[in-house]
Amino acid sequence: MSEEKLYAVKNDKGEWLNQYCFWGPEAWAKPDKDDREKVAKHYGGHVVAFVEEPEKEAVSENEGKAIDSLINAETYAQASEAFHYLFASRKKEDIKRIMKAFRNGYTVAKEKKYRVITPKSWWASENEPEYMHMNVLNGIENYKGADDDTLFTQKQLDLYGLNGAPFTKEEVTDDDE
């Protein structure tokens, strides 16, 4: 986030002073506040600061729900539960991140998803890759083609032993799904 500000002159009618010293819909903004104050004093009006909007903080889905719950709490009990979830037993950097989310707003970070390509020796066809697939009945198996059942989170990759040799993981973006 940039802390640099720009300043412009505005009158009581909501008009801006432009670079030709005429009032209208366009503003002439400069980083020199002292200069803008002198111009405002000479032509009338007041100085307005333009500040860059801060970058929103990325939080997990559960943290986002807890922040909303805390902001919208109507009772002490509701606020207490959300507050406890957000701040109890957290590292200092997590507390700072959550406080930034309160101050600057937040976005919910999507959990990364991966497809796992099996070794080439497992493929039925040399030109058609096979992926690891989550089958409800049979568990994890190789599969031709890529669908939603071939998507895994990092936690699942570690749990099922798919993270590393002989498998190749590729990150999936929203466009790939």
The model's pLDDT over 32-49, given as tens digits with 9 standing for 90+, comes to 999 999 999 999 999 999
Comparing 3 with 127, which gets the higher pLDDT?
A: 127
For tokens 């669908």, the residue is 147
**Whole-angstrom distance, CA of residue 105 vs CA of residue 137:** 43
Q: What are the domain boundaries of the chain?
A: 5-51, 57-108, 113-172
Sequence-ordered list of residues with C-beta below 8 angstroms from that of 129, at least 6 positions apart, any chain: 117, 118, 120, 123
Per-residue confidence at 24, pLDDT binned at 50, 70, 90?
very high
Percentage of the chain surpassing pLDDT 90? 27
Q: What is the mean pLDDT of the chain?
A: 84
